[in-house]
Amino acid sequence: MAIDPVCKMTVDEKTALFHSEHKEKDYYFCAKGCKVAFDKDPEKYLKEEK
């Protein structure tokens, strides 16, 4: 299972409909809106992980 970096929901990588790659790492999203937000500014959401 993966964590949506935008809303922090748990997402199953095998069934996720929304996916992005950033700096050679895969990210999975629960909804299109989360993917769109991430794609606009990935660093905004990734800096919160650290």
pLDDT at residue 47, rounded to an integer: 85
pLDDT score for 48? 61
Q: Residue 50: is its pLDDT beyond 90?
A: no
Which of the four pLDDT bands, split at 50, 70 and 90, describes residue 49?
A: low
Residues 2, 11: Cα–Cα separation, whole Å: 5
With beta carbons less than 8 A apart as the criterion, state whether 42 and 16 touch.
Answer: no
Give the residue extent of every domain in the chain: 2-46
Tens-place pLDDT, residues 3-36: 999 999 999 999 999 999 999 999 999 999 999 9
DSSP string covering 10-37: EE-TTT-SEEEEETTEEEEESSHHHHHH
Helix, coil or strand: residue 38 = helix
